[in-house]
Structure 1
Amino acid sequence: MAEEQKHEESALATEPAVEVVERESLLDKISEKIHHGSDSSSSSDDEDEKKASSPSSLKAKVYRLFGREKPVHKVLGGGKPADIFMWRNKKMSASVLGGITAVWVLFELAEYHLLTLLCHVLIAVIAVLFLWSNASMFIHKSPPKIPEVHIPEEPILQLASGLRIEINRAFTCLRDIASGRDLKKFLSAIAGLWVLSILGGCCNFLTLSYIAMVMLFTIPVLYEKYEDKVDAYGEKAMVEIKKQYAVLDEKVLSKIPRGPLKGKKKD
């Protein structure tokens, strides 16, 4: 009996010690998990920061035709003219394109002349207003009041100033091309003028202007719709053109003798 009591007393004495050890081990495990979680979260944060700061994670610069960085709407100048060309207002765009088409049909297909058309329009308008004014006592409806028409000065001056700036810019560009400083611009200008001469021989100026206006109403809208695909093909085309130009420059253009530049001092 004495031995059993001693055994029970020793068991009771060891139980609190075992519980303390188990609690300590449990606390250690919890602290390790917390520490491990904080380390993993901090490491994941560091990795996210590295990925965000790494240049590979940044959005690669997408190739755009002619080095364009702005949207097509901004390239066309923005505002109402760009809205018309981009069909933002479909009724207005359809009206403008229909008016241009009517003018082309009258002058090109019907072979109307500008002076004849203006005279016929004025005859019709003046005759209608004159007859309406004299017949107002019979129909009991007065004709519309004819407004006073004045050409404003400011828009005309702005248009003239804009044309002057563009013409001077074109003259400066032609002067730089003709000076022989940039062979690439020279070849591009020759090719462009040659294409225009061929188009001018195929159709007159009115038809060429009408084709340009129709292209202005269609190409920007289609390009904005299929922008990524067109830019991808354009990038491939530009790479191939640069390769061909490099071959041409190495075999032909580099062998053409050039005169001394103006900035170079003569011996």
Structure 2
Amino acid sequence: MADPATQSPYISSSSSSAAGHPEPGVPHPPPGARDCKGAGSPSCAARDLVSWRDVRKTGLVFGTTLLLLLSLAAFSVISVVSYLVLALLSITISFRVYKSVVQAVQKSEEGHPFKAYLDLDIALSSEAFHNYVNAAMVHVNRALRLIIRLFLVEDLVDSLKLAVVMWLMTYVGAVFNGITLLILGELLVFTLPLVYEKYKTQIDRYVGIARDQSKALVEKIQAKLPGLAKKKPE
């Protein structure tokens, strides 16, 4: 009798159900959902968000941030912040007055309607603060090392790549302002993961072709200009 661990993955629905695999017709996590290690980490949460794992949650975040960016494109930052604060205060004050009137009419003693939220301990502990700072410092130090490496021309090819990208960005900046770029960036962030999951095979093939061609082009340029050749690690 064959070892179950060495059997083909194409097993019957009954055996797959017993092994913990989803049965036919039963919803299962989309591709990539099991690729994220460390469930609950910020990177996994961000990936699930932009991949529309929870449509309601992603739709709320996407709609709110897009509305905020569109508001910033039409009004100043001060106006947008002021209107948001006024809208929030209008809701909380109206609800507070409404509950006070209801309690006065019914002669009840329910107390403050937001008491449960006011009693919450939202203080940031020193340990949590240091953890956030340490995590941020890792990225800051990495960014500083990259900036020093590029601007002090540790690798001439990488520095030239940055120069070309910045030169192209001057043309982009002449056409779009910062808020417009942020709006376009958000649309891409919330749509590209879906497109990639749907056409992963075709995209990977074309990206591989483009990567090979660009690598071959860089190698040709480095061969013609010895000064651009990367130093081999000793």
TM-score of the aligned structures, taking structure 1 as reference length: 0.58
Distance in structure 2 (CA, Å) of the matches to 1:91 and 1:123: 25
SS for the counterpart of 2:85 is helix
User: Are 1:199 and 2:172 matched, yes or no?
Assistant: yes
Match of 1:74 in 2: 36
Of 116-125 and 211-220, deviating more is 116-125
For residue 3 of structure 2, what is the aligned residue in structure 1? none
2:114: which partner in 1?
145
Matched, 1:227 2:200: yes
Please report how far the alpha carbon of residue 230 of structure 1 lies from its aligned counterpart in structure 2 after TM superposition. 1.0
**Number of the residue aligned with 2:81:** 115
Residues 228 and 188 of structure 1, relative CA distance in 2, 3 Å threshold: same
Q: Please say if 1:169 is aligned against 2:142.
A: yes
The equivalent position to 2:218 in structure 1, one of 245, 248, 254, is 245
> Is the CA contact (8 Å cut-off) linking 2:50 and 2:189 kept in structure 1?
yes
AA at the equivalent of 1:82: R
Which one-letter code corresponds to 1:233 in the other structure? Answer: Y
Name the residue aligned to 1:254: 226
Mapping 1:175-214, distance limit 5 Å = 175-214=148-187
Q: Deviations over 1:196-238 (max 9, x none)?
A: 4443443333332332222221112211221111111112112
- AA at the equivalent of 2:72: F
Identify the range of structure 1 (204-213 vs 170-179) with the bigger mean alpha-carbon deviation: 204-213
CA displacement at 1:98 relative to structure 2:
0.9
Letter in 2 for 1:145: F
Please tell me whether the aligned partners of residues 150 and 158 of structure 2 are also in contact (alpha carbons under 8 angstroms).
Answer: yes
Give the deviation of 1:191 after TM superposition.
2.7
CA distance in 2, matches of 1:161, 1:168: 10
The alignment's TM-score, normalised by the length of structure 2, stands at 0.65
Unmatched runs of 5 consecutive residues or more in structure 1: 1-70, 262-267
Which of residues 45, 61, 64 in structure 2 aligns to 1:96? 61
What is aligned with 1:46?
none
| TM superposition shift of 1:152 | 2.9
**Which has the larger displacement, 104-113 or 235-244?**
104-113
* Residues 198, 166 of structure 1: alpha-carbon distance in 2 compared, 3 angstrom cutoff: farther
Unaligned residue ranges in structure 2 (runs of 5+): 1-31
Q: Which amino acid aligns with 1:194?
A: W
Given candidates 84, 92, 98, the residue that maps to 1:132 is 98
- For 1:129, the aligned partner's letter is F
Q: How many residues align?
A: 191
SS of 1:88's partner is coil
Q: Give the CA RMSD over aligned residues.
A: 3.6
- In the TM superposition, what is the alpha-carbon distance from 1:177 to its structure 2 partner? 2.3
SS in 2 for 1:105: helix
Percent identity among equivalent residues? Answer: 18
For CA contacts below 8 A with separation 6 or more, give which structure has more relative contact order: 1
Paired residue secondary structure (2:36) = helix
Q: 1:160 to 1:198 in 2, by over 3 A?
A: farther
Aligned-pair CA distance for 1:126: 4.4
**Within 2, Cα distance between the matches of 1:106 and 1:207?**
11
List per-residue Cα deviations over 1:44-82 (Å, max 9, x = no partner).
Answer: xxxxxxxxxxxxxxxxxxxxxxxxxxx585399653322
